[in-house]
Amino acid sequence: MTSTIPTRVSRDSEKRRDLLERMVLQGPGLLFITIFMATPITLVAIYSIFQRGRFGGIVYKATTENFTRALDPVYLGVLTDSLKIAGITTILAIAIGYPTAYAIAKLPTKWRSIALVLVVMPFWTNFLIRTYSWIMLFNREGLLNHALLKFNIIHTPLDLLYTQSAVVVGLLYGYLPLMILPLYASIERLDPQLGEAAANLGATRTRAFFSLTLPLTASGLIAGSIFVFIPSLGNFIVPELLGGGKTVMVGNLIRDQFLKARDWPFGSVLALSVIALVFIFFMLQNAVEKRFSSDAHD
């Protein structure tokens, strides 16, 4: 009669070959990520409930004191400051980055790639050096004050360095290209005929922008915001170099707990709070994306 049995055997051996191929391809990578990302993060989560040993190790006795300590106004203040600074940086990045990306997209094709390369090139100088350059500019005897004094715009040097604003400028400077590039990518993909159609239907340019251009470039906006907000939130280099001792962000706290105070459990709680804030940020972005993409598809 039929060869149902050989067919089943063939199907099984095909499935086995597929499984083997899948393991060879995905296995090494996924194992690596499990060991070098998932395990470290899990450790951090685990350490947060334990106690600091006398000489800096871990005492495996569960406690919630690290969490309650994090709620102390001092630390809470640092967390809110970090959120504030990262948030302002992101908003400024959008405010500057969107028009810039738009302007680049409107350039003649030949100039576009040159403009993009120019946007990215500062990025290839070391981040620390770029941050340091603002010390040179903002210092009391620095170039900016030098120039302002020279042209008699001010009469006494400004205290620009070691302020929250200096930190914002430093973060903005470091991550602005990461906002411009994804924004450019999604603006560039816009169909120019849509704008013409809108104008044809009587929309003013501002109305067309808010109802048409903005929603359609939402994905670029979201990507750019992620690339600016997350590194800004956890940053400790810029607050240290440009904020002096006065502006402390959660990144500095974490670094101090892990390397100076050697209080790993408490540092872990702070790290968890960063992860939590990032997670909330993602959820917000998801909601924004859902709202905008459904509008665009209507």
Residues 87-126 that bind other proteins (CB under 8 A): 96, 99-100, 102-104, 106, 115, 117-119, 121-122, 124-126
Pick the binder of other proteins from 233, 238, 248, 269 (CB under 8 A).
233
Residue 11: both structure tokens together: 């199907």
**Any contact of residue 133 with other proteins (CB under 8 A)?**
yes
User: ∠ CA(176), CA(87), CA(213), 5° rounding?
Assistant: 65
Residue 193 contacts other proteins per CB under 8 A: no
Segment near other proteins (CB under 8 A), from 67-75, 187-195, 200-208, 235-243? 235-243
- Binding piece for other proteins, criterion CB under 8 A, among 194-202, 203-211, 249-257, 286-294: 249-257
Give yes or no for residue 274 binding other proteins (CB under 8 A): yes
- Site membership for other proteins, residue 174 (CB under 8 A): no
Closest C-alpha among 118, 123, 125 to residue 104: 118
Stretch of residues binding other proteins (CB under 8 A), selected from 192-200, 207-215, 223-231, 284-292: 223-231
231 lies in the binding site for other proteins (CB under 8 A): yes
State how far the Cα of 7 lies from the Cα of 12, in Å rounded to an integer.
9
Residues numbered 25-54 forming contacts with other proteins, rule: CB under 8 A = 25-26, 28-30, 32-33, 35-41, 43-44, 47
Closest to 128 in 3D by CA, of 244, 18, 240, 9: 240
- Please choose, out of 71-79, 137-145, 193-201, 211-219, the segment that lies near other proteins by the rule CB under 8 A: 137-145
Residue 275 binds other proteins (CB under 8 A): yes
153 binds other proteins (CB under 8 A): no
Stretch that binds other proteins, among 10-18, 59-67, 73-81, 158-166 (CB under 8 A): 10-18
**What DSSP line would sit under 109-164, residue for residue?**
HHHHHHHHHHHHGGGGS-HHHHHHHHHHHHSTTSHHHHHHHHTTS-SS----SSSH
92 Cβ contact list (under 8 Å, min separation 6)? 168, 172
Q: Name which of 62 and 201 has its Cβ closer to other proteins.
A: 62
Nearer to other proteins, 115 or 212 (CB): 115
Assign residue 199 a region (left: φ > 0; alpha: ψ between -120 and 50; beta: otherwise). alpha
Cβ-based neighbours of 268, under 8 Å, separated by 6 or more: 44, 45, 46, 47, 48, 66
Binding-site size, other proteins (CB under 8 A): 89
Cα separation, 200 vs 202, whole angstroms: 5
Rounded Cα distance, 219 and 87, in Å: 18
CB nearer to other proteins: give 10 or 294: 10
